[in-house]
Structure 1
């Protein structure tokens, strides 16, 4: 489990598998944008009466919601990101495939093109093969077994779903990727050989052996390619086949539920960038820092669990947090204020279990909870604040910035629509 990892948006991504070195049911068409993006509730949360706004230090961060985002219209590249965020909710997270895969990691994110996929496969040839004509978007998520020490050899996997504009394009891509996987590898890459898995005749498979055993699989299903990359310790090669069987069995019915937006040449398509009007309440990114792996946008419980860990999945689902904004800060919206309190408790308890300790609340904002931890890469500071049905979360290496952001986030949330769907 990785709590609140901060990542530079331009940082290089390292594949967790080692060897392979929105969301919601809201569709992407015809959703009207709110005229203002915010219709603040007149109700005041009980906790907010303890806040002294005159004492709040918000630094240079905004204290009001952003302007409405509107729509992305093809061929605007933003439409790829928005559709990939929606797709994330229909990609199986690793712990649903193997319950021991709870240590989330990179690579995770939306597929904007073949450059993203080089981090998934650690192979330019396989990534380029995925970019055959017809690639629309995709989403990938990674995790492994927790390690007690860095040298431990554990299982890990990356689950990837690519969307193409036709079943024919998906089938062509699956064959091309598998052919590239079993071709002579470039210098520094791991060699894969052709393989099969019983009872999966439609899945193309390659296997790596020796010091870095594992498997890659490619399954064309309707207009999608499902790919699972598995790394296992020497001596556990048989477990890779079982993991891929489970991955395919769980992924197919889930992706069949995805309400894909028509994005094909010659068809004018559009997607609402701020699904259910929540991204307007997040603090904008201005310094190259984001929640690890995710691009700015709106994600459902599975998208959030891809970065925050599987333990958050059920919490968000059970408390109605179907749309969550990710930008410089993260904003969750629950069904009720009580549900929001449940999410807040889970977030804080998760951090404390990961070794964080409580630190002081910002001046004037006793309703905020901040935690801190010294890590190998520096100090990490996370802060959370509730306001009605919303929870705001900020995170930074700098404790002052984390507190300034959460103070600004609180003021933004006082202007949020508490009746939003």
Structure 2
């Protein structure tokens, strides 16, 4: 629940350990064979310190060790809308790009918006109602905060065409102008440099902290999209309005790079265009969140990182091209050395908050951590297989180890 607002927090695909992405400890086994997506790596010529990994000796539990058959297309417009929203993640401006202090996860920080009902994660119910009337297609939402100082939410909502987006933006704005708030009034506010943006402000008091927040909510129609922001600040209205202005400066040009799918052809969208998801430990469609069962490009993957600024530097250094998200996470880097760079970076981050746990058996260079808090058990493991970095996580150490071993096997089995 957002402070002072009625919208619920979103349910993200992977919130654990490092906070904003699936967290698993470092396993550093790399293979010398160069790998293309969809091709197995050489598991018997392991170049990592500690020697080769004998896949036949790994304890994989009941997890599969061979790649899935080709995953094909979405098949339905409903699943196609999720795939479209996942694609949009790469073209949505993250709050940390607007203000470097906006790093900490806020609520669940990032979520694919699969239908009009999902706009409850972005807007109060009364404000979100126009989306269904104007045939909302799909979207993506991201949020971060600087605790007790600032918070920024940014969402891009896609509609069938510019006319529908303009009508939806107008209706959103009309509803926002009469939003019921704890401390009236709701007042219109200009956004510097963006005369086409409609925005409204109000204030609220945060119980227990003696903080008074200024809130600005903004709507901008841009082509077939509505750009929606909510900014909060404890110092001034100008701070909140400036956050939205900078967001729009970045978000407008970025979303124009996205190639939207014809709404009538969403069912034809491929689930796994790179082939990497088929080589990732699967999660069933029934169990997958809207953020899972996909492959993200680098900027999209940052939406789920605990510290996206730090991760951006790491990914750039490693030449990371794709992140597959399923029962594990698999990152594709430039080469085996670069996969090791990602694994080392992740372990340095997670190791600061975790306790050492047993390595994956028969994988002497693997590393696992105990990230449990109170009664909530949480274990995290990391590994590499040639140019791939593997993350796995589970409530039991053995389960995390078996997931890691199975994922390694899947990447190294023809």
- Range into which the TM-score falls when normalised by the shorter chain: 0.7 to 0.9
TM-score normalized by structure 1?
0.81
CA distance in 1, matches of 2:287, 2:392: 11
1:71 maps to: 73
1:213 maps to: 214
Aligned residues of 1:19 and 1:214 also touching (Cα < 8 A): no
SS in structure 1 at match of 2:85? helix
Aligned residues of 1:109 and 1:295 also touching (Cα < 8 A): no
Distance 1:189 1:415, change over 3 A: farther
SS in structure 2 at match of 1:361? coil
CA distance in 2, matches of 1:100, 1:134: 36
Unaligned runs of 5+ in 2: 8-36, 206-212
Distance 1:103 1:193, change over 3 A: same
Cα deviation, 1:264-287, whole Å, max 9, x if unaligned, reads: 4xx687222113111112212259
TM-score normalized by structure 2?
0.83
Query: Matches of residues 37-52 of structure 1 in structure 2 within 5 Å?
Result: 38-42=38-42, 44-47=45-48, 49-52=51-54
Distance 1:180 1:340, change over 3 A: same
Unaligned runs of 5+ in 1: 1-13, 22-36, 148-152, 417-421
1:327 maps to: 326
2:85 maps to: 84
CA distance in 2, matches of 1:141, 1:397: 27
Is 1:305 equivalent to 2:302 in the alignment?
yes
Aligned residues of 1:333 and 1:391 also touching (Cα < 8 A): yes
Aligned residues of 1:330 and 1:394 also touching (Cα < 8 A): yes
Cα deviation, 1:88-147, whole Å, max 9, x if unaligned, reads: 1010111001110011231421111122211222x11122222332321111111111x4
Distance 1:263 1:333, change over 3 A: same
**How much has 1:347 moved relative to structure 2?**
1.2
2:12 maps to: none
SS in structure 1 at match of 2:331? strand
Cα deviation, 1:191-239, whole Å, max 9, x if unaligned, reads: 7433222432100101121324211111111111111111222x33321
CA distance in 1, matches of 2:204, 2:244: 20
2:24 maps to: none
Please identify runs of 4+ aligned residues in structure 1 that moved more than 3 A: 17-21, 41-45, 52-55, 188-193, 286-291
1:100 maps to: 101
**How much has 1:78 moved relative to structure 2?**
1.5
**How much has 1:18 moved relative to structure 2?**
5.7
1:163 maps to: 158
Cα deviation, 1:146-182, whole Å, max 9, x if unaligned, reads: x4xxxxx231111101111111111111111111222
Aligned residues of 2:41 and 2:386 also touching (Cα < 8 A): no
User: What value does the CA root-mean-square deviation take over the aligned residues?
Assistant: 2.7
**How much has 1:87 moved relative to structure 2?**
0.9
1:197 maps to: 191
Is 1:296 equivalent to 2:293 in the alignment?
yes
Distance 1:135 1:104, change over 3 A: same
2:135 maps to: 134
2:258 maps to: 258
1:419 maps to: none
Count of residue correspondences: 374
Q: Which moved more, 1:176-185 or 1:222-231?
A: 176-185
**How much has 1:304 moved relative to structure 2?**
1.8
